[in-house]
Amino acid sequence: MARPQLRYVCQACGSAQPKWAGQCPDCGEWNSLQQEAAPAATPFSAKHSLKAGGQKLAMLPLNASIELPQRLPTGFAELDRALGGGLVPGSAVLIGGDPGIGKSTLLLQAAGRMARAGLGVAYVSGEEAADQVRLRARRLGLADAPVQLAAATSVRDILTTMASGPAYALLVIDSIQTMHSDQLEGAPGTVSQVRAAALELIGFAKQTGTCVILVGHVTKDGQIAGPRVLEHMVDAVLYFEGERSHQYRLLRAVKNRFGGTDEIGVFAMESDGLAEVPNPSSLFLTQRDAPVAGAVVFPALEGTRPVLVELQALTVRLPSGATPRRAVVGWDSGRLAMLLAVLEARAGLSFANHEVYLNAAGGIRVIDPAADMAVAAALVSALLDKPVPTATIAFGEIALSGEIRAAAHAGLRLKESAKLGFTRALAPPDTRGVGGLTVAPCATVGALVDRLAGKQ
């Protein structure tokens, strides 16, 4: 008998290797390869044709009539917004986020609210004992919500219970990494276990119309731990972001088969759980009277809502020859390197002998490309040690040529900024001011530097 083939599967990216290695050749993760039995090879000869023997599919036109299932409100307008308008029955949603960010809290609150609204809701915790969850529910003021609670890790037990009980509208699994499928060998949390458990739970959602929400842990580098394949299997992937030391949390959709991925939900962590923040535009601003060098306000656009964020840059001069540090919180470090290069090549400003630190205030992560101009303004202001005048905002995308490109929805950004008392905008050329807010157009990074240096 042939020996079963062995292979080594990376627990970070799911790629299979014939040989063990210390580092995954695909994703570069260290010590992530684990031995697994390879699936039995199906005999297949080149003579075999797949053109016969199957069932003929009924091909349909794109405009065939469809019945859209009614979406279920979760009791949190901000969660509904991130989901694209509520939970779609029969869908599987993955919610990722750092440990302690508030995933369990958010889902227990949503479960409680849905149960109070008369929907059947089951909450299965694989991480905490039932008493711990009850204690949290009491603290959240949800002790009387008719949520069906279980502490379990066996997918078979969970699905058996689901099949024998009443129909549920929502099943929360906290977390998928603790679940175990007995169809397969291996400890919970390994790629194959997570994949098998998720597959069965997603299958259950599709067959019964119950929404399944899976909580997924996130590794240090921000990926949902274990397989990225999980992201392909579910209908929607939401990330719960924020700094644990700050109060605000953003729920961001990175994939949604039933809606857009541009809307975010904004929450604040309070002593009695998560509270919604329906109007987040001024959350990430710092109140101060005198302007400080290196601080610039950027009107970011999150979905359809403007959110003003203070970006802070600090440069520290080093003796020549030392390697300067670049540290970034809340923005892309590759993009920072690019902007520093553009400022050097197109505006003649050298940061080579300076350490550069960049921070987005309030623990928000900025991904709007129009942040370039605000970051550049912060860097230049820090380097020249010249504050940007108070009540000034900056936005626009910067090209490698040093030109400043128009940003989407400039009107919306300006209107919200004017509402919050800003009076001047460093913006791409051809941006029109709105009532009370004048535009100082900058066509290139050179023009921006001249304005900040006070030459224009």
Residues 218, 220, 224: CA angle, nearest 5 degrees: 25
| Shortest separation between residue 100's beta carbon and Mg ion, angstroms | 8
Which of 237, 238, 156, 239 has its CA nearest to residue 204? 156
Interface map 76-115 toward Mg ion (x if CB under 5 A): ----------------------------x-----------
Residue selected from 114, 269, 328, 343 as contacting ligand TYD according to rule CB under 6 A? 269
What φ, ψ does residue 196 adopt, rounded to 5°?
A: -65, -45
Where would I find the beta strands (DSSP E) of 199-317? 211-217, 236-241, 248-256, 264-270, 273-276, 295-302, 305-317
191 near ligand TYD, rule: CB under 6 A? no
| Residue 98 or 263 with smaller CB distance to ligand TYD | 98
| Shortest separation between residue 106's beta carbon and Mg ion, angstroms | 10
| Residue 13 or 101 with smaller CB distance to ligand TYD | 101
134 binds, among Mg ion, ligand TYD, none (CB under 5 to 8 A by kind): none
| Shortest separation between residue 271's beta carbon and ligand TYD, angstroms | 6
Neighbouring-strand partners of residue 355:
316
Neighbouring-strand partners of residue 17:
8
| Shortest separation between residue 264's beta carbon and ligand TYD, angstroms | 17
Residue selected from 32, 71, 82, 103 as contacting ligand TYD according to rule CB under 6 A? 103
d(CA 431, CA 66): 43
d(CA 41, CA 283): 56
249 near ligand TYD, rule: CB under 6 A? no
Q: Which stretch binds ligand TYD (CB under 6 A): 49-57, 98-106, 158-166, 288-296?
A: 98-106
For residue 421, the Cα-to-chain-centroid distance in whole angstroms is 30
- CB-based closest residue to Mg ion: 104
97 binds, among Mg ion, ligand TYD, none (CB under 5 to 8 A by kind): ligand TYD
d(CA 385, CA 200): 59
305 binds, among Mg ion, ligand TYD, none (CB under 5 to 8 A by kind): none
Tokens 């400039």, residue located: 410
d(CA 96, CA 111): 17
| Residue 95 or 145 with smaller CB distance to Mg ion | 95
Interface map 104-143 toward ligand TYD (x if CB under 6 A): xx------------------------------x--xx---
312 near Mg ion, rule: CB under 5 A? no
| Residue 217 or 413 with smaller CB distance to Mg ion | 217
73 near ligand TYD, rule: CB under 6 A? no
- Neighbouring residues of 261: CB distance < 8 A, sequence distance ≥ 6: 253, 254, 255
Which of 425, 439, 448, 426 has its CA nearest to residue 342? 448
| Residue 70 or 271 with smaller CB distance to ligand TYD | 271
99 near ligand TYD, rule: CB under 6 A? yes
- Neighbouring residues of 337: CB distance < 8 A, sequence distance ≥ 6: 326
Is the Cα dihedral 252, 413, 326, 387 positive or negative?
negative
Q: Which stretch binds ligand TYD (CB under 6 A): 59-67, 100-108, 156-164, 365-373?
A: 100-108
| Residue 86 or 189 with smaller CB distance to Mg ion | 189
What's the one-letter identity of residue 13? C
Q: Please count the CA atoms within 13 angstroms of the CA of 302 that sit on its side-chain side.
A: 26
Residues counted in the chain: 456
| Residue 95 or 309 with smaller CB distance to ligand TYD | 95
| Residue 283 or 301 with smaller CB distance to ligand TYD | 283
d(CA 112, CA 142): 6
For residue 330, the Cα-to-chain-centroid distance in whole angstroms is 12
| Most distant pair of Cα atoms in the chain: their distance | 83
Q: Are 109 and 93 in contact (CB under 8 A)?
A: no
| Residue 45 or 271 with smaller CB distance to ligand TYD | 271
| Shortest separation between residue 424's beta carbon and ligand TYD, angstroms | 38
d(CA 258, CA 57): 25
| Shortest separation between residue 454's beta carbon and ligand TYD, angstroms | 45
271 near ligand TYD, rule: CB under 6 A? yes
Token reading at 233: 């299997």
| Residue 99 or 146 with smaller CB distance to Mg ion | 99
- Per CB under 5 A, residues contacting Mg ion are 104
- Per CB under 6 A, residues contacting ligand TYD are 97, 99-105, 136, 139-140, 269, 271-273
